[in-house]
C-alpha cells in the first residue's frame, strides 16, 4: 500500500469547479509545489478554502491563483494580505465568504469528524450571523455553523512515510492536521518521504488513514532556502552581507 | 512622542504578571517592546504557539517557525506548538487573559469594528481573522486606536458605522489622548494627557463619556 505519487498525475485529475482546501498560514506550512502545479494547470472556477490568504504583499503561495482569476469563491477568515485577491473582488470575479478563524477550523473539523455542525457564540450580533440559525441553550445564544468539506485537501508536512503518516515540524502545522480529515482526496506534500517505521508513532501528526497520496515537495534544505529568500526580500530578516 | 508610540506604551500597562496575552497586528505588536520589568506574560500567536520570542537574526530563522503575520519568530524555553483547533480552543474557551487589538472604530456601547472595509458593493476586506474569536473569548479586551482619523474625525463614536467585530465586548479603550473604561452605563474617562481638559476632549470625541472621580494624567510608565 504505497501512497507515493507524482504530483503531476494528481493535479491532472483536478477539474474546473473543484473545491480545494489548502493548509498553511500566509505561506508558512503551505503546499507550495502543489499550488504551483494547480496554477500551471489553469483550472478555473475553483472554490478555495484556506484559513488566510497569501503571504503579505502577494506574489507568493496562493496569490497567483487569484491573479490568474482561477478562484471563483474563497472561504476564509482573512484575505487582506493578498492584493491580487482584492483586485479580483473589485472586478467582480471573486466572492469571499468569511468565517471567524476559530469557526472556520471547527467547521472543517466537524466535517472530518462526522459531526452535524458546530454551536458557537462567536459572531453573534455581527454580519457573520446573517442567514444562520440561532439556538438558545440554557439561556445562552449560539450560531449553528455547518460542516465544511472539499473535494481535495492539499496539506504540507515535514516528513511522510509511504503509508501516508505525516510528521509536522514547528509552528507550520496550523490548519494542516484538520483539513487533512475533511476532503475526499487528501494529498500530503512533504519535504522528505521515508520508509514505514521511520517516523516514531508518537510524532505522527496526521495518521495515514486520512491521506490518499504522498508527494515530494521541496527538500528540507530547499524549504529553508525558500523562506530565507522570502523573508530577506520582504525585509523580515537582515539582508546577508554582499560578497566583496 | 508619536501617537502610536504613546498608545503602545500605555497599552503595555494593561498587562499583568503571568497573563496569557494575544496581541493583534499593527500597533498592538509594538506593545511587546514596552512590557514593564517584572511583568512576565505568555504571548500567544494564534497560528499555533505560546511563548514566542523576538525576531531571529538572519541565519537563525526556521522556515517552520513564524507568527500569524507570516514573519519569522523564535520560540522561548517553555514554548508549545499546536494546531489551529487547539489555538482557537485556547482563545474561545476563555484561556486568554488579555487581548489588545487595533481598531478602525469603537463606540460607547463597547463595540469594536476592525475587520471590514468596503472594497466593492457588498464586499469587504480584510476579514476578521481571529479577531471575532478574541473579542468573544478573551477575559479582557483592550482596543487601541488613534483618537481621530486623518481628517480629524473622532473614531471613538456613539455607534460604530463599520461592520462590528463584537458587540459590547470592550473593557478598555486607549487612544493617544485618553483612556476610557467601558461600563454598563457607558464610557468613563480615567486618564487624559496633560495638555488637554475633559471639555476639550469632549469637543473632539463623538462618544459621550463621564469623567471618573479618580481621573489621572495619562500614564506612560508603571
CATH number at residue B201: 3.40.1080.10
Put simply, the answer to whether B48 touches A174 (Cβ < 8 Å) is yes
Mutate to test the interface with B, among A73, A77, A106 (most CBs of B within 10 A): A77
Put simply, the answer to whether A98 touches B128 (Cβ < 8 Å) is yes
Per-residue pLDDT of chain A in tens (244 residues, 90 and over written 9): 899 999 999 999 999 999 999 999 999 999 999 999 999 999 999 999 999 999 999 999 999 999 999 999 999 999 999 999 999 999 999 999 999 999 999 999 999 999 999 999 999 999 999 999 999 999 999 999 999 999 999 999 999 999 999 999 999 999 999 999 999 999 999 999 999 999 999 999 999 999 999 999 999 999 999 999 999 999 999 765 555 4
**Alpha carbon distance B79, B110 (integer Å):** 33
Domain A15-98+149-233 has CATH 3.40.1080.10: yes
Write out chain B residues lying below 8 Å of A236, CB-based.
55, 71-72
Residue B177, pLDDT score: 98
ipTM entry: 0.96
**Alpha carbon distance A18, A206 (integer Å):** 24
**What angle, rounded to 10 degrees, do the helices at B84-92 and A101-112 form?**
130
Write out chain A residues lying below 8 Å of B63, CB-based.
28, 170, 172, 223-224, 226-228
CB pairs under 8 A between A and B: 179
The domains of chain A are located at 15-98+149-233
B39, pLDDT greater than 70:
yes
Cell representation of residue B149: 482619523
Put simply, the answer to whether B70 touches A27 (Cβ < 8 Å) is yes
Residue B214 vs residues B6, B10, B192: alpha-carbon distances, Å? 21, 17, 11
Put simply, the answer to whether A78 touches B126 (Cβ < 8 Å) is yes
Give me the residue from A25, A101, A170 closest to B62, CB to CB.
A170
Q: Which range marks the domain in which residue B94 is found?
A: 3-217
Residue A244, pLDDT score: 45
Write out chain B residues lying below 8 Å of A81, CB-based.
70, 126
Catalytic residue among B46, B105, B176, B191: B46
Put simply, the answer to whether B84 touches A239 (Cβ < 8 Å) is no
Number of domains chain B is built from: 1
Nearest chain B alpha carbon to A99: B128
Average pLDDT over residues B30-47: 95
* Residue A244 or B21, more confident: B21
Task: Please tell me whether residue A120 adopts helix, strand or coil conformation.
Answer: strand
Q: For residues B164 and A126, is the Cβ–Cβ distance under 8 A?
A: yes
Average pLDDT over residues B91-106: 98
Mutate to test the interface with A, among B24, B47, B107, B110 (most CBs of A within 10 A): B47
B94, pLDDT greater than 60:
yes
**Sign of CA pseudo-dihedral B54, B28, B69, A152:** positive
Cell representation of residue B197: 481638559
**Alpha carbon distance B218, B7 (integer Å):** 10
**Alpha carbon distance A207, B125 (integer Å):** 36
Smallest CA–CA distance, residue B199 to chain A, in Å, is 33
Using only C-alpha atoms, chain A has a radius of gyration, in whole angstroms, of 19
Number of neighbouring beta carbons within 10 Å of residue A196: 13
B132 contact partners, CB below 8 Å, separation of at least 6: A100, A101, A102, A103, A122, A123, A126, A128, B115, B165, B166
A179 contact partners, CB below 8 Å, separation of at least 6: A21, A22, A23, A49, A108, A112, A150, A153, A155, A186
Cell representation of residue B167: 458587540
Smallest CA–CA distance, residue B105 to chain A, in Å, is 15
Q: Which of residues 199-228 of A touch B (CB under 8 A)?
A: 205, 223-224, 226-228
Cell representation of residue B174: 486607549
In this complex, is the C-beta atom of A29 within 8 Å of any C-beta atom belonging to chain B? yes
Write out chain A residues lying below 8 Å of B68, CB-based.
25-26
A78 contact partners, CB below 8 Å, separation of at least 6: A51, A52, A53, A98, A101, B126, B127, B128, B129
Domain contains B222: no
Cis peptide, bond prior to residue A98, ω within 30 of zero: no
Helices and strands, number each (H, E), in chain B: 5, 15
Residue A45, pLDDT score: 98
Mutate to test the interface with A, among B51, B126, B161 (most CBs of A within 10 A): B126
pLDDT in tens, B159-209: 999 999 999 999 999 999 999 999 999 999 999 999 999 999 999 999 999
Domain contains B84: yes
Average pLDDT over residues B75-93: 98
Residue A22's nearest CA partner among A35, A3, A39, A4 is: A35
**Alpha carbon distance B11, B108 (integer Å):** 19
B44, β-bridge pairs: B22, B50
DSSP letter at B121?
T
Helix (H) or strand (E) holding A67: helix A63-67
Residue A238, pLDDT score: 74
Average pLDDT over residues B7-26: 96
Q: Is there a catalytic annotation at residue B46?
A: yes
DSSP letter at B114?
-
**Alpha carbon distance A218, A228 (integer Å):** 14
Residue B1, pLDDT score: 81
pLDDT in tens, B114-150: 999 999 999 999 999 999 999 999 999 999 999 999 9
Cell representation of residue A151: 473535494
Amino acid at each position: 500500500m504505497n501512497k507515493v505519487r507524482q504530483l503531476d498525475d494528481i493535479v491532472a485529475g483536478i477539474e474546473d469547479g473543484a473545491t480545494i482546501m489548502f493548509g498553511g498560514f500566509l505561506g508558512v506550512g503551505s503546499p507550495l509545489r502543489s499550488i504551483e502545479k494547480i496554477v500551471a494547470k489553469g483550472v478555473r472556477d475553483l472554490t478555495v478554502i484556506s484559513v488566510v490568504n497569501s503571504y503579505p504583499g502577494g506574489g507568493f503561495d496562493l496569490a497567483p491563483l487569484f491573479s490568474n482569476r482561477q478562484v471563483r469563491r474563497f472561504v476564509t477568515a482573512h484575505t487582506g494580505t493578498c492584493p491580487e485577491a482584492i483586485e479580483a473582488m473589485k472586478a467582480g470575479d471573486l466572492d469571499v465568504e468569511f468565517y471567524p478563524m476559530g469557526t472556520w477550523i471547527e467547521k472543517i473539523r466537524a466535517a472530518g469528524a462526522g459531526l452535524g455542525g458546530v454551536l458557537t457564540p462567536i459572531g453573534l450580533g455581527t454580519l457573520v450571523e446573517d442567514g444562520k440559525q440561532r439556538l438558545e441553550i440554557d439561556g445562552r445564544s449560539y450560531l449553528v455553523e455547518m460542516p465544511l468539506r472539499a473535494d481535495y485537501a492539499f496539506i504540507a508536512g515535514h516528513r511522510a512515510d509511504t503509508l501516508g503518516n505525516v510528521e509536522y515540524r514547528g509552528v507550520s502545522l496550523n490548519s494542516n492536521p484538520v483539513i487533512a480529515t475533511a476532503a475526499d482526496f487528501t494529498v500530503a506534500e512533504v519535504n522528505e518521504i521515508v520508509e514505514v517505521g521511520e517516523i516514531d508513532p508518537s510524532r505522527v501528526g496526521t495518521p495515514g488513514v486520512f491521506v490518499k497520496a504522498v508527494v515530494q515537495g521541496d527538500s528540507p534544505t530547499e524549504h529553508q532556502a525558500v523562506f530565507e529568500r522570502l523573508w530577506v526580500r520582504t525585509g523580515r530578516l537582515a539582508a546577508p552581507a554582499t560578497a566583496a | 512622542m508619536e501617537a502610536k508610540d504613546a498608545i503602545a506604551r500605555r497599552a503595555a500597562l494593561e498587562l499583568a504578571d503571568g497573563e496569557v496575552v494575544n496581541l493583534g497586528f499593527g500597533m498592538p505588536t509594538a506593545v511587546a517592546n514596552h512590557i514593564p520589568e517584572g511583568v512576565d506574560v505568555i504571548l500567544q500567536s494564534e497560528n499555533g504557539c505560546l511563548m514566542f520570542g523576538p525576531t531571529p537574526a538572519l541565519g537563525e530563522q526556521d522556515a517552520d517557525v513564524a507568527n500569524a503575520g507570516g514573519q519569522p519568530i523564535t520560540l522561548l524555553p517553555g514554548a508549545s506548538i499546536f494546531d489551529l483547533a487547539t489555538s482557537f480552543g485556547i482563545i474561545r474557551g476563555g484561556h486568554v487573559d488579555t487581548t489588545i487589538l487595533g481598531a478602525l472604530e469603537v463606540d460607547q456601547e463597547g463595540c469594536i469594528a476592525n475587520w471590514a472595509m468596503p472594497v466593492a458593493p457588498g464586499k469587504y476586506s480584510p476579514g476578521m481573522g481571529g479577531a471575532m474569536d478574541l473579542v468573544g473569548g478573551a477575559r479582557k479586551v483592550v482596543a487601541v486606536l488613534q483618537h481621530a482619523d486623518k481628517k480629524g474625525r473622532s473614531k471613538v463614536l456613539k455607534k460604530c458605522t463599520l461592520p462590528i467585530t463584537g458587540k459590547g465586548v470592550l473593557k478598555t479603550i486607549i487612544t493617544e489622548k485618553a483612556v476610557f473604561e467601558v461600563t454598563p452605563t457607558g464610557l468613563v474617562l480615567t486618564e487624559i494627557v496633560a495638555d488637554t481638559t475633559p471639555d476639550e476632549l469632549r469637543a473632539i470625541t463623538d462618544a459621550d463619556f463621564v469623567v471618573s472621580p479618580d481621573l489621572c494624567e495619562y500614564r506612560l510608565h508603571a
